[in-house]
Structure 1
Amino acid sequence: MPEHTHRAARPLRLGICGPVGTGKSSLIALLCRELSSRLDLAVVTNDIYTDEDARFLRSSGVLAAERIRAVETGACPHTAIRDDISANLAEVETLEADYPGLDLVLIESGGDNLTATFSPALVDAQVFVLDVAGGGDVARKGGPGIERADLLVVNKTDLAPYVGVDVPRMLTDATEARDGRPVIGLSRHDRASVDALLAWVDGMLAGHSAGTWVPVDPGPMARHVHADGTAHAHEH
């Protein structure tokens, strides 16, 4: 069994969401490889009509297969992570009952658009994932996940030369869109970026364990621009 570094009333529930193809499953596989030697982990995936993401993770061997559960949403992915979380919550609670020593449950959204966010009733913190292949301008277009998720990951930075993206500019745009909330440019081939991601997760675990981390809902906001050019948003 892994050596436990903390103990809270229940494990940290960390949501991973973002558009199709941004590398959410690969990010979860990376976290499992890096953390499973010292933390007790489990995963819940979401797909509309298949368990393809769960099968990918099981075949990668990053965790015991029985620790990776799949939810088939049967509808738009954001519905099952925000509007009606019952299927996901039941799966998470079953995992927590089956493995009482869990430290961290990773919950992957099905691929959705830039508006998808998790309900704070389902996760304690959430990561929104973009990738450079989606275009260097995506980050500055904004949206609830980009602007207000607890962490924004700009993934696959090693592909930038092949898709003509200026990564430093994209990261600057992302940081400006997020008012200074954390942004990480990630490549699994760049050890420093992987370490930055792990340090952020460790910080979340520490805050959750100590009871000092308070989840914030990054959900939909009505953003608008006034005639004088100023822009801001109101929560609904």
Structure 2
Amino acid sequence: MHLDHATTFPERHTHSAEPVRADGTRRALRIGLGGPVGSGKTATVAALCRALRDTVSLAVVTNDIYTREDADFLLREAVLPPERIAAVETGACPHTAIRDDISANLEAVEDLEDAIGPLQLVLVESGGDNLTATFSKGLVDAQIFVIDVAGGDDIPRKGGPGVTTADLLVVNKTDLAPHVGSDLDRMARDAKEQRHELPVVFQSLRSDAGVAEVADWVRGRLAAWTAA
């Protein structure tokens, strides 16, 4: 064992930056999107970018374990200029980087704000995880949890922190319900029982309405954040 040199460890960020900057302006609102693999998180992020980019200054941070696949998808779809999309390779279970040691994600968010200038909104997308996935309050100010009907209409009844505590629950791919035998009314009742007054949105990105209801929810959170 060598004891003749100092040992240092990476700084762990456990608290978010103060909402108000030194110049008196508010930093960007941070909204996290989590959910199981294949639930449609990245497609929802892409749709939100298209819906909001003309009126909101926003950026995106994606999380994948070993790749930049989600960020590359957003780049191919040209939903935002490339400099507004950052990728974090977690190297471990996705919830580690959004809940336990949030250093890499905080650094990505702060680098985007420094590089681009004042942002109003940053979307932080988790890698695919399970029903226990939640974001640290030190990383995001609100969280959306995305599930899909193809995963089974019993998911809302099973609960889990993602389903029960997220600020918004999105039940995605409703157009597939007739093809996979999912009962949307049952899912709505179970979600209400689990979440009480917390909002739930049923969406199909293939419909005319698309992401509109979720985008309206984001606009409402942003208006409240700006006015606070």
Please indicate, yes or no, whether the TM-score normalized by the shorter chain is above 0.5: yes
Question: In 2, Cα distance between the equivalents of 1:8 and 1:128?
Answer: 29
* 2:30/2:141 contact within 8 Å kept: yes
The number of residue pairs the alignment matches comes to 205
Which position in structure 2 is the counterpart of 1:118?
Answer: 135
Does residue 198 in structure 1 map to residue 211 in structure 2? no
Shift of 1:206: 1.1
Which of 52, 60, 65 lines up with 1:35 in the alignment? 52
What amino acid does structure 2 have at the position aligned with 1:130? Answer: I
Segment of structure 1 superposing worse, 74-83 or 182-191: 182-191
Contact kept in structure 1, 2:44 and 2:211, CA below 8 Å: no
Matched, 1:182 2:199: yes
> Can you give the 5+ residue segments of structure 1 that lack an aligned partner in the other structure?
1-6, 212-236
Show CA shifts across 1:119-176 (max 9, x none): 0100000000000000000111001110010000000101111101111221221121
CA shift in 2, pair 1:105/1:157, >3 Å: same
Measured in 2, the distance between the counterparts of 1:87 and 1:183 equals 30
Secondary structure of the residue aligned to 1:165 is coil
TM-score by length of 2: 0.87
The one-letter amino acid paired with 2:196 is D
Does 1:74 find its partner at 2:91? yes
**8 A Cα contact 1:20 1:112, kept in partner:** yes
Structure 2 residue matching 1:110: 3-state secondary structure:
coil
Q: Which among 82, 86, 91 is matched to residue 108 of structure 2?
A: 91
Question: Over alpha carbons, which structure has the higher Rg?
Answer: 2
Partner Cα separation in structure 2 for residue 196 and residue 190 of structure 1: 12
Is 1:12 aligned with 2:29? yes
C-alpha contact (below 8 Å) 2:95/2:129 kept by paired residues: yes
Does residue 62 of structure 1 match 2:73?
no
Q: Mark the runs of 5 or more structure 2 residues left unpaired by the alignment.
A: 1-23
Whichever structure has more strand as a proportion of its residues is 1
Q: Which residue of 2 aligns with 1:135?
A: 152
Normalization by structure 1: what TM-score?
0.84
Q: Does 1:163 align with 2:180?
A: yes
1:148 aligns with 2:165: yes
Quick one: which amino acid aligns to residue 198 of structure 2? R
Q: By how many angstroms is 1:207 displaced?
A: 1.3
Instruction: Say which of 31, 40, 47 aligns to 2:64.
Output: 47
SS at match of 1:160: helix
Q: Give the Cα–Cα distance (whole angstroms) in 2 for the partners of residues 118 and 8 of structure 1.
A: 25
The answer as to whether partners of 1:14 and 1:127 remain within 8 angstroms in 2 is: yes
Whether the 8 Å contact between 1:154 and 1:171 is mirrored in structure 2 is no
Cα displacement (A) at 1:101: 2.6
Q: Percent identity?
A: 62
Stretches of 4+ moved more than 6 A in 1?
none
| 8 Å Cα contact 2:51/2:212 also seen in 1 | no
